[in-house]
Amino acid sequence: MLHTGDTAPNFLLPDADMAWVDSRSVYGQHHAVLFFYPRDNTPNCIIEAADFSDYESEFAKLGCKIFGVSRDDCYSHANFRDLHGLSVPLLSDEKGEVCSQFGVSQYRERDGHKKLCIIRSTFIVDKNGIVQHALYDVQPKGHAATVYQLVQRLNGKGKPHANR
């Protein structure tokens, strides 16, 4: 698992249009939000991806790029994006290598069988490629707004959180 202060892993993943996204072209120039989610077209994943899409222009004003990551393939991502009008790039990690690097792949038992699952998690990475927030096992509803507030603080905007 990654923690605040860790260097974010580099990655090279295709998006829904099969264009490659290289973290090295993001880190160093922009803050980045990477939200890892279990599966395209599932109710909670729709909520989370739609909320991040709704906030995308606000994040962009703060110099922040948003990426959704799951193990679904590019075709599934394109269908998910088009079906729900999503605007954030959805990256395909079919082999699960990036999910493992970020520590979001975990075995969970269901119906007596262990299965490798993606734990819904979000990472806020600053312009220097350092993890500023590692949020694991998040609830999708309202999550994008919470993440937006955290990114605002990276830029010295927004109110400090009383519990941090």
The residues annotated as belonging to the active site are: 45
Query: Among candidates 23, 50, 37, which has minimal Cα distance to 125?
Result: 23
The pair of structure tokens assigned to 74 is 């590019």
DSSP codes joined into one string, 131-159? EEEEEES--STTHHHHHHHHHHHHTT-SP
Is residue 81 within a helix (H) or strand (E), and if so which, with residue range?
helix 74-84
Residue found by looking up tokens 């948003």 in the block: 66
